[in-house]
Amino acid sequence: MEQTPTPIKRGSLGELVRLFLRLGLTAFGGPAAAIAMFRNEVVNRRKWITDEHFLDMLGATNLIPGPNSTEMAIHIGLLRAGWRGLIITGVCFILPAVLIVLGLAILYDEYGTTPTAEWLLYGIKPVIIAVVLQAVWGLSSKAIKNRVLAAIGIIAFSLYLLGFNELLLMFGGGLLAMVIANARRLRQAAESSAVKLLSIFPPGPFLLQGYTSNGHEVSLLTLFLTFLKIGATLYGGGYVLLAFVQNDFVERLGWLTNEQLLDAVAIGQITPGPLFSTATFIGYLVAGVPGAVLATIAIFLPSFVLVYLTHPFIPRLRQSKWLGSLLDGVNVAALGLMAAVTFELGRDALVDWVTVILAIASAVLLIRFKVNSTWLILGGALVGLLKSLI
């Protein structure tokens, strides 16, 4: 039976500002954790949308390049308050991470190192595991509609742990579900095409100003266009971003060393919000504050444009027998990947009895008592701090 997303009431910009600034400050743990926190806030607590609609938006973000968590924030803002909400939620979710990363970049550039935060991750990671598992469990009841979709989710989970590419698994799962669900219609399959729009603003004279990094001349125009290209073409999240940056900024341009790149990735891991804020750190290292600003705008700009262009087509995807089944397959594959990432995180996070108890307690508080995940994350950070002092 065909389904369409349930319409939601429009909300105020103020509530979006408050919610996504808070999420931007507390969404540690990468895209899976951020998406789980979004679901807890907009589906469970505020009832803005249904799990089915949330899943369809998640599937749509997996079909376009860019950071999934940021694109989910933008989708929610667009749905809740139109184009103003799109801008507000995107900026508010990105801004805290960008400012934190910029501050750490200044310290790094001044002193050659950054403050360590092992105690922070020690307490927060177990909480993140509970948050993501709650989201995966809740969404799975809506996403797994039959045995075929259940099998696709299990296969995606298993193959990711064996090292298969996540983009291949998501699109492969979608195509497999579509083919199986529409086997009788294969003879009449219609051709479809996707059009990508890359919006590039004409560069001003300031972009031509020169800087130097590691003995190489730095062009702000090249910096902007390189990060714009990455933001418009990158699928697969933080680890794929690492490969893109290594190829462009270390190998091709020579603006970064491998050590600086690894430090940039470490900063992305210990700060909340989208991992793409790593671009802010890199931009500052090669061209100061102007570089940080331009790199940040360039890598996130395509996400705003692509979400705005694709958002109206989500209901049509769900109504189509072909594309609706494709979306079903992408959704369960994405859940399988979320579960696999959580499994890998769990191996690193649950290192002693304190972290195990913290994870179990967080799960109980989330599921039984509906405690806001933000408070749990802050509590986890406090536990980590106390543990570091003992």
Check residue 358 and give its pLDDT. Answer: 92
Domain extent listing, the chain? 13-182+308-389, 205-298
The dihedrals phi and psi of 218, each to the nearest 5 degrees, come to: -110, 130
- CB atoms closer than 10 angstroms to residue 343: 14
Distance CA 284, CA 281 (A): 5
| Residue 21, pLDDT score | 94
pLDDT computed for residue 237 by the predictor: 55
Q: Is 218 helix (H, G, I), strand (E, B) or coil?
A: strand
The per-residue pLDDT for 196 is 41
Amino acid in the structure at residue 259: E
Per-residue pLDDT of the chain (390 residues; tens, 9 = 90+): 444 444 556 778 999 999 999 999 888 767 777 888 899 899 988 999 999 999 989 888 877 878 888 999 999 999 999 999 999 999 999 999 899 889 888 887 876 655 556 676 688 778 878 877 877 787 787 788 888 899 998 998 899 888 887 768 877 888 888 888 876 655 444 333 333 433 433 444 444 455 656 556 778 888 999 999 888 877 655 555 766 787 788 888 888 887 787 677 667 666 787 878 889 999 998 888 999 999 999 999 988 988 888 888 877 777 787 777 887 887 788 788 778 877 877 887 788 999 999 999 988 888 888 787 778 878 888 898 888 887
Cα distance between residue 6 and residue 20, in whole Å: 22
* Phi and psi torsions of 190, nearest 5°: -95, 150
The whole-number pLDDT of residue 204 equals 47
Distance CA 107, CA 102 (A): 9
pTM exceeding 0.75: no
pLDDT at 88: 95
Q: Cβ(284)–Cβ(105) under 8 Å? A: yes
The DSSP annotation for 271-318 comes to SSS-GGGHHHHHHHHHHHHHHHHHHHHHHHHHHHHHHHHHGGGHHHHH
User: Which run of H or of E encompasses 377?
Assistant: helix 373-389
Provide CB contacts within 8 A for 160, sequence distance 6+: 166, 169, 336, 337, 340, 341
Token pair belonging to 216: 């190489």
The pLDDT value given to residue 87: 95
